[in-house]
C-alpha cells in the first residue's frame, strides 16, 4: 500500500509554512508566517490508516516525508470555490520554488463584504527529503533559511468587491485576456476581466495603488458582463475547453443556460430558452466535453447524470441520462481530459462512481467502478490533467483522496492489518488537516501539485504518490 499521510484537523503545532491574508473585507496581502517544526520531542510516529480508531489524547500529525510540497494559506473569509489561472511561467514546472495564480470567491458572514480574490502565491519551496545521517545538518540549514526569510512563501492579493457570496468561480483565457465567471448567491452570473488585478499582484507599487482605488466606493469595479435571467441562485458553471468564450451556467431550479461570446469578446449572447430536464431539481455541476464543443454533462439533486447536445433545441437536447446514478444528490462530476469516454461523479452518499460513456443507453447505465471510501458527502472531484487513470476527490469528512485506476490488487500478498485489507488498492494517498473541504484542483502546469480550499483555508501540496 502506498504511503498515507496523517495530520490533525486542528493541530496544536503547525507543520506547514503559511501564507496569510488577514483582512477579510479588503483582501490585503503580502503577509506570511513561518512554519513550525512538528513532532519534536514526541514518541516515534506510527502510520495512520483510514478507519483506524485513535486512542484517548492521541493526535494525528503530518509526516513531511510523504510530501514534496506542503503549504497552507488563509484568505480571511472562507473561499469555497476557486480556479487556477493559466500563466506564462511555463509548463511541467517541477523546480522549486514555485509560483502560481488562482482566482477565488469568498463566502463572508456579511453579504456586502464579499470579494473575488486574484491571488499570486510565490516562493513555494519544496520539502527537503533528508537522510538520517544529514538530518541535523540539514535542519540547521533550514532554520537559518527561515530566519533569513528565504523560504517563506508570499501571497499577493488583489480583491474585487462582489455583491453576494460566491457559490462558484471558473476562469478561462480568450486570446490574451484572462476572464472569470462567478455565480452569486443573489442569482446573478458575472464575467470579469482580471487583467488589472493580475498586473497589480506583480508589482508592490501597483498593488498599493490598486487597493487605494478599491477603498473608494465610487471606484467599484464593474463586471464585463452580467446575466440576471436565472430564476434562482446556482452552482453549475463551466467554460468550454474547445470553444473559447462559451459558458454554461445551471441554477437551483434545474435550468441550464448556454452563453456564447460575440465577436467583440466583451459581450455574450445567452440563450433565454433553458435546458431544463432536471427541473425542478437543482443542477449541482456542469462539465463540457474535453473534445466535443457541443457536448455538455450535468448532474443534479435528482440523482441523475445527463449528457446534452447543444446543437439541438433545448427541449430535445438531452441525449443520454443515467438515472439513479447515486442513492442521493449527485454533487460533482469531472470529465476525463485524456480518455474522454470516462466521467467520475461524487454524491451525498459518499460514493465515487466512474462511468464509461460508451455504456450509456436508453435504459440508463451502470458505473464501471464504485468506491465508498468517503464517510460523508463528496464535495469535489477532478481527473488528473495528464494521467488518464488518476483522479482526486474530497469531501465533508475532511479528507482528500488520490486514486489510480490502473492499480490492481496483488493476490499474492495478504495484508497483515485488517484495516489495510479493507482499503481499495486504487487508493494512493489520503490528505487531511482541512475542515469541511469544498473544492480541489490539480495545477495543470505544475505536475502533481494540488490546491484545495475549505472552511479552514487553502492547502497547496504535492504528495510522493503522484
pLDDT (tens digit per residue) in 149-189: 557 899 999 999 999 999 999 999 999 999 999 999 999 99
Q: What is the pTM of this model?
A: 0.87
Cα separations in angstroms, 13 against 8, 54, 118: 10, 18, 29
Rounded CA gap, 406 and 390, in Å?
Answer: 8
Query: pLDDT category, 138, cuts 50, 70, 90?
Result: very low
pLDDT (tens digit per residue) in 317-338: 999 999 999 999 999 999 999 9
Rounded CA gap, 107 and 113, in Å?
Answer: 9
Checking if the pLDDT of 1 tops 50, the result is no
What distance lies between CA 236 and its chain's CA centroid? 14
DSSP annotation of 219 reads G
Rounded CA gap, 450 and 465, in Å?
Answer: 12
pLDDT given at position 432: 93
Query: pLDDT category, 121, cuts 50, 70, 90?
Result: very high
Q: Of all residues in the chain, what percent carry a pLDDT higher than 70?
A: 81
How are strands ordered across the β-sheet holding 79-84?
Answer: 79-84, 98-106, 115-124, 154-161
pLDDT given at position 319: 93
Checking if the pLDDT of 9 tops 60, the result is no
DSSP annotation of 364 reads B
Residues in the chain, total: 466
Find, among 122, 128, 262, the residue nearest to 202 by Cα: 122
pLDDT (tens digit per residue) in 187-235: 999 999 999 999 999 999 999 999 998 887 666 899 999 999 999 999 9
Rounded CA gap, 40 and 13, in Å?
Answer: 10
Cα separations in angstroms, 320 against 238, 351, 363, 432: 19, 21, 9, 37
CB burial class (10 A; 0-12, 13-18, 19+) of residue 292? middle
For residue 387, how many other CB atoms are within 10 A of its CB? 16
Whose cell is 465508498? That residue is: 372
Checking if the pLDDT of 375 tops 90, the result is yes
- Of 2-11, 248-257, 431-440, minimum mean pLDDT range: 2-11
Checking if the pLDDT of 456 tops 50, the result is yes
Rounded CA gap, 339 and 349, in Å?
Answer: 26
Rounded CA gap, 89 and 202, in Å?
Answer: 13
Q: Of all residues in the chain, what percent carry a pLDDT higher than 90?
A: 71
For residue 333, how many other CB atoms are within 10 A of its CB? 25
pLDDT (tens digit per residue) in 398-453: 999 999 999 987 666 655 556 566 789 999 999 999 999 999 999 999 999 999 99
Phi and psi angles of residue 222, each rounded to the nearest 5 degrees, phi first: -100, 145
Rounded CA gap, 110 and 36, in Å?
Answer: 33
DSSP annotation of 228 reads -
pLDDT (tens digit per residue) in 49-79: 776 777 777 778 888 899 999 999 998 899 9
Amino acid at each position: 500500500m502506498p504511503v498515507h499521510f496523517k495530520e490533525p484537523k486542528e493541530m496544536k503545532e503547525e507543520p506547514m509554512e503559511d501564507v496569510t491574508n488577514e483582512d477579510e473585507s479588503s483582501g490585503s496581502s503580502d503577509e506570511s508566517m513561518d512554519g513550525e517544526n512538528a513532532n519534536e520531542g514526541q514518541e516515534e510516529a506510527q502510520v495512520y490508516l483510514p478507519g483506524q480508531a485513535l486512542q484517548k489524547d492521541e493526535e494525528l500529525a503530518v509526516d513531511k516525508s510523504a510530501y514534496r510540497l506542503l503549504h497552507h494559506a488563509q484568505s480571511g473569509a472562507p473561499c469555497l470555490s476557486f480556479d487556477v489561472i493559466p500563466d506564462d511561467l511555463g509548463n511541467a514546472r517541477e523546480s522549486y520554488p514555485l509560483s502560481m495564480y488562482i482566482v477565488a470567491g469568498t463566502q463572508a458572514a456579511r453579504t456586502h463584504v464579499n470579494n473575488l480574490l486574484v491571488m499570486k502565491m510565490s516562493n513555494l519551496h519544496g520539502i527537503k527529503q533528508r537522510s538520517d545521517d544529514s538530518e541535523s545538518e540539514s535542519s540547521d540549514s533550514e532554520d537559518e533559511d527561515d530566519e533569513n526569510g528565504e523560504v517563506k512563501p508570499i501571497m499577493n492579493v488583489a480583491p474585487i468587491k462582489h455583491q453576494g457570496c460566491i457559490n462558484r468561480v471558473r476562469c478561462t483565457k480568450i486570446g490574451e485576456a484572462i476572464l472569470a465567471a462567478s455565480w452569486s448567491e443573489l442569482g446573478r452570473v458575472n464575467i470579469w476581466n482580471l487583467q488589472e488585478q493580475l498586473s497589480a499582484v506583480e508589482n508592490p507599487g501597483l498593488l498599493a495603488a490598486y487597493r487605494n482605488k478599491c477603498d473608494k466606493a465610487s471606484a467599484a469595479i464593474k463586471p464585463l458582463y452580467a446575466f440576471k435571467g436565472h430564476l434562482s441562485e446556482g452552482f453549475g458553471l463551466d467554460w468550454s475547453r474547445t470553444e473559447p468564450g462559451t459558458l454554461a451556467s445551471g441554477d437551483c431550479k434545474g435550468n441550464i443556460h448556454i452563453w456564447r461570446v460575440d465577436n467583440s469578446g466583451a459581450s455574450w449572447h445567452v440563450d433565454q430558452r433553458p435546458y431544463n430536464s432536471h427541473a425542478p431539481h437543482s443542477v449541482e455541476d456542469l462539465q463540457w466535453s474535453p473534445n466535443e464543443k457541443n457536448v455538455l454533462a450535468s448532474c443534479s439533486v435528482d440523482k441523475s447524470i445527463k449528457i446534452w447536445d447543444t446543437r439541438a433545441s433545448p427541449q430535445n437536447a438531452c441525449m443520454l441520462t443515467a438515472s439513479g446514478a447515486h442513492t442521493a444528490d449527485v454533487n460533482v462530476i469531472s470529465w476525463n481530459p485524456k480518455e474522454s469516454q470516462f466521467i467520475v461523479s461524487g454524491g451525498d452518499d459518499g460514493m465515487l462512481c466512474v462511468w464509461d460513456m460508451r455504456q450509456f443507453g436508453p435504459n440508463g447505465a451502470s458505473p464501471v467502478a464504485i468506491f465508498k471510501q468517503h464517510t460523508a458527502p463528496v464535495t469535489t472531484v477532478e481527473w488528473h490533467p495528464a494521467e488518464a487513470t488518476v483522479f482526486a476527490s474530497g469531501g465533508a469528512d475532511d479528507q482528500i483522496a488520490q486514486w489510480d485506476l490502473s492499480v490492481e490488487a496483488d493476490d499474492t500478498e495478504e495484508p497483515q492489518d485488517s484495516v489495510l485489507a479493507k482499503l481499495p488498492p486504487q487508493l494512493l494517498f489520503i490528505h487531511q488537516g482541512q475542515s469541511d473541504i469544498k473544492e480541489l484542483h490539480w495545477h495543470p502546469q505544475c505536475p502533481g501539485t494540488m490546491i484545495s480550499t475549505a472552511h479552514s483555508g487553502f492547502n497547496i501540496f504535492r504528495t510522493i504518490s503522484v
